[in-house]
Amino acid sequence: MAAAAAERQRTVRVTQVRSPNGTSARQRATLRTLGLGRIGAVADRPDDPTVRGALYAVAHLVRVEEQADG
């Protein structure tokens, strides 16, 4: 049953829309942690509190789209 629950985990699609130039080193590191690094880069991440916190820290640099259950 745990495997079935993991397959239905919600995800978010994160797209970098602004350059990290002029941001803090911490925000640039957060972008790298999310799998981003260039404008237009896209990454799918699990929708959990850790990822949501990272997204909050760089919300001005990214666009977030909720993905349907898988």
The pLDDT score that the predictor gives to residue 12 is: 96
> Model-level pTM?
0.83
CA distance 60 to 16: 9
- What average pLDDT values come out for the chain (70 residues) when binned by 10 residues? 65 97 97 96 96 97 86
Helix H or strand E segment including 33: helix 25-33
Q: Would you state the pLDDT for residue 69?
A: 65
The per-residue pLDDT for 9 is 82
